[in-house]
Structure 1
Amino acid sequence: MSRRALTLLVSGFLVLALGIGGALVDVPYVVLSPGPTENTLGQIDKQPVIKITGRETYPTSGSLRLVTVAYQGGPTSQIDLLTALRGWIDPTVAVVPQETIFAPDRSQKEVEEENTVEMTNSQDDATAAALNELKIPYRTVISVVSVAKDKPAAGKIEKGDEITSVDGKPVTKTEEVGEAVRARRAGEEVTFGITRGDEDLKITVPTVAADGEPVVGVSMRATYKFPFEVDINVGEVGGPSAGLMFSLGIVDKLTEGPMTGGKQIAGTGTIKPDGTVGPIGGIPQKLVGARDAGATIFLTPAGNCAEALKAVPDGLRLVKAETLNSARLAIEALVSGKGKVPSCSG
């Protein structure tokens, strides 16, 4: 056998060995890639993404697409070395250490469950933001999420109760309840105004010390009582980053005339009830996913603009979105051709 043939044979053997080894060796990384997009004005499995009942709605056109990031890997399904290498080569995906997505003290199931809760909360906040934008009143209530079995509230306050007052003072924020309880000394009593079903109650609970502060053992969150029903269907999508697009979709359905003018618009960003848009992760992958879905305009949280400018694909225009109102006005300016459209580049 010639030296050339022997060299090729050995090289081929080494490549084969490395390939087999790479396919067998798991590595603690996660591959992030462009995920599916959904038009908030459209349907999923023949059901509207946004369904509004009890209020007049209007026809829409074009698209207001939410974007997602798909991932491979995790504590219970680690990727192999070859998958990681392919990801490092592909400019449309990112390979990140596993702990950046899944904290060492949390399981993959816990992270996925948290994403589901965040999506539910995001939908409620998006509805609240849309109604605030349209000056439609609604009520905010404080709902009991859980009651610690070993704390004084157990057996007195129940999951699902609405806290309306503390020591006779009306409350509308969870922070107000917490501050009122912490203002007591451990062992002192606190009287809660509670709505349970159709019944209004006064329930007195003693406080106990926990981590140096008085507590009663109740976990709460703010929930909303809207004047009509808004149902959002996004399948298995999780996390809070679709908030802005949900809000815009709701606003579009509740106002006369198609907001988009038929344009293909995508975007991302968390939303607060006051309309503030927050930054999100995975912006490079979301930009690619948006462009692949046919979008030509991308609503970008101000906090993601610098990163987005480095990764924007050809044919996609970045529009800076700081609030729901500014995003709405930007779309109106794009459709009409009049007015300033805020840009990530200045």
Structure 2
Amino acid sequence: MPRRTATMLASTLMLIALLCAGVFIPVPYAEMSPGPTVNTLGEHDGEPVLNIEGRKTYPADGHLNMTTVRVTGADYRMNLVEAVYGWLAHDSKVVPHDTLYPDGKTEEEATQENAEEFSQSQESAKVAALKALDVPVDSWVIVATVVKGSPAEGRLHAGDVIKEVDGTAVKEPADVAELVTEHKPGEDAVFTIVPAKEQAAAEKEKRAPATTEKVTVTTATSDDAGDKRAIVGISAGTDHTFPFSIDIKLADVGGPSAGLMFALGIYDKLTPGDLTGGTFVAGTGTIDDDGKVGPIGGIEMKTVGARDKGAEYFLTPADNCASAARDIPEGLTLVKVGTIDDALGALEDIRSGDTAGLPTCTAS
């Protein structure tokens, strides 16, 4: 066989071997790509995304779209060819697998965590919107979760309202940990609570809870990184009573990043006129009860998805601005927001057509 032919054959076989290796050898990466965008003012799967009863609402015909990111599953093992293609593609992003699923988290665990975050974001969106409208909302601190095998298991329960710890009134979830850690491990902490069942009955009957209980929990020593401290094995959260019904329906979506757009959608439906003035506005961002907007992941994928759907403006969390501005889809303006008030102010400018002063995102 001529040397040239042999060389070409060997090169071809080596290329085939490399391609086979690229297809069959898994790499520790996952892929993110633009997911669906949903208008919070419209319908999804035939049902209104926002349904408000017990309060006057107004037609809202604009676009306030929340955005999502599609990710590969925890059990999916990407091969080298897919990873290289993803790195080269403009509308996807390849990231280390542990970025999306840290500490060996399973897909089921990630889905459950995302569902919990999504539910909490809905509650915070309602509170933030109503606060922006000066509508009173009753709030209280609750036991959000109880760690299995912890001192609190069987003594405190999810949904219990925490009124006091050691006789000191609790006003914020952070107060609980602060008061518990004043103890040395092994000492007793005394919780004054309204049991979850009594609280639920009181809310249903629209009355004040009739009873409180004192529950003593012996503290244990923390086993996480950092200084050792007293713990009881609970996380505290906040629950609310709203003066009217606000129902958010959106299946197959998780995580906290739709909070800002839900809050703006609620605000729009409760006020005359359209917040956007007919302009297609999309956005993202977590939101807390006080209306502060927080950063999210996958911002580059969300801006691409929004522009593909026709968005002209994208409300961008301030902490995501620099990253998002490195590759702005053509025709999309990134508007920097840090609070719901920032977003409402930006929408007022967009609605009026006076956009010269909009706080836009820059890469610096």
Q: Provide TM-score, normalisation by structure 1.
A: 0.90
Question: Which protein has the bigger strand share?
Answer: 1
- 1:45 maps to what in 2? 45
SS of residue in 2 equivalent to 1:165 = strand
Further displaced range: 158-167 or 49-58 = 158-167
Unpaired runs of 5+ in structure 1? none
Matches of 1:149 and 1:134, distance apart in 2: 40
Match of residue 202, structure 1, among 210, 213, 220: 213
Pairing 1:36–2:40 present: no
Q: Aligned pair in 2 of structure 1 residues 62, 147: CA closer, same or farther (>3 Å)?
A: closer
The correspondence of residues 22-33 of structure 1 with structure 2, limited to 5 A, is 22-33=22-33
Further displaced range: 98-107 or 181-190 = 181-190
Opposite residue 53 of structure 2, the aligned amino acid is: T
Matches of 1:45 and 1:157, distance apart in 2: 39
Matches of 2:111 and 2:189, distance apart in 1: 38
Residue deviations 1:28-56 (CA, integer Å, cap 9, x gap): 11111111111111111111112222222
The correspondence of residues 12-27 of structure 1 with structure 2, limited to 5 A, is 12-27=12-27
- 1:252 maps to what in 2? 268
Matches of 2:143 and 2:168, distance apart in 1: 18
SS of residue in 1 equivalent to 2:212 = strand
Pairing 1:307–2:323 present: yes
- 1:342 maps to what in 2? 359
Pairing 1:282–2:298 present: yes
The correspondence of residues 126-275 of structure 1 with structure 2, limited to 5 A, is 126-147=125-146, 153-184=152-183, 186-188=186-188, 190-196=190-196, 197=198, 198=202, 199-211=210-222, 212-275=228-291
SS of residue in 2 equivalent to 1:280 = coil
SS of residue in 2 equivalent to 1:104 = helix
Structure 1 residue 27: Cα displacement: 1.1
Structure 1 residue 226: Cα displacement: 1.4
Structure 1 residue 288: Cα displacement: 0.7
Pairing 1:324–2:340 present: yes
Matches of 1:253 and 1:336, distance apart in 2: 19
Structure 1 residue 9: Cα displacement: 5.3
Q: Aligned pair in 2 of structure 1 residues 19, 341: CA closer, same or farther (>3 Å)?
A: same
SS of residue in 1 equivalent to 2:55 = coil
Q: Aligned pair in 2 of structure 1 residues 55, 94: CA closer, same or farther (>3 Å)?
A: same
SS of residue in 1 equivalent to 2:236 = strand
Matches of 2:20 and 2:250, distance apart in 1: 39
Matches of 1:295 and 1:149, distance apart in 2: 46
Structure 1 residue 4: Cα displacement: 6.9
SS of residue in 1 equivalent to 2:329 = coil
- 1:111 maps to what in 2? 110
8 Å contact kept, 1:143–1:160: yes
8 Å contact kept, 1:66–1:267: yes
8 Å contact kept, 1:181–1:214: yes
Match of residue 293, structure 1, among 300, 309, 312: 309
Matches of 2:122 and 2:148, distance apart in 1: 30
Aligned pair count reads 345
Matches of 2:106 and 2:155, distance apart in 1: 33
Opposite residue 17 of structure 1, the aligned amino acid is: A
Matches of 1:328 and 1:288, distance apart in 2: 23
SS of residue in 1 equivalent to 2:211 = strand
8 Å contact kept, 2:58–2:273: yes
Structure 1 residue 257: Cα displacement: 0.6
Matches of 2:52 and 2:36, distance apart in 1: 24
Matches of 1:150 and 1:283, distance apart in 2: 38
Further displaced range: 322-331 or 65-74 = 65-74
Q: Aligned pair in 2 of structure 1 residues 61, 160: CA closer, same or farther (>3 Å)?
A: same
Matches of 1:272 and 1:238, distance apart in 2: 16
Matches of 1:332 and 1:225, distance apart in 2: 30
Q: Aligned pair in 2 of structure 1 residues 325, 204: CA closer, same or farther (>3 Å)?
A: same
Q: Provide TM-score, normalisation by structure 2.
A: 0.86
